Amino acid sequence: MIQVLYFAQLRELFNLQQEQLELTAEISTLGDLRRMLSQRGTRWLALSEYKKTQAAVNQQLADDDMVLQAGDEIAFFQPVTGG
């Protein structure tokens, strides 16, 4: 199992703070997870926009080629800019 967390605007968009998912042969990397979640519907397509939605695995920024392992915590969030 992996723990998936959604922050800020994504939490509001999905009406979901967190969920647990089973790793499968189809979901072995962060990119695989993004693609699977994006297939849930229009709102979820926000996860497929890499530049607009970042991810961290076990509290470390991660790229889509990051291999996931059971027990990982994946957080999706949108970059914050200040000014």
Band the pLDDT of 79: cuts 50, 70, 90: confident
pLDDT per residue over 14-72, tens digit each? 999 999 999 999 999 999 999 999 999 999 998 887 568 999 999 999 999 999 999 99
**CATH fold of 2-77, please?**
Ubiquitin-like (UB roll) (3.10.20)
For 38, 60, 69, 71, 82, the CA distances from 44, given in Å and listed in that order, are 5, 22, 23, 23, 25
Where do the domains of the chain lie? 2-77
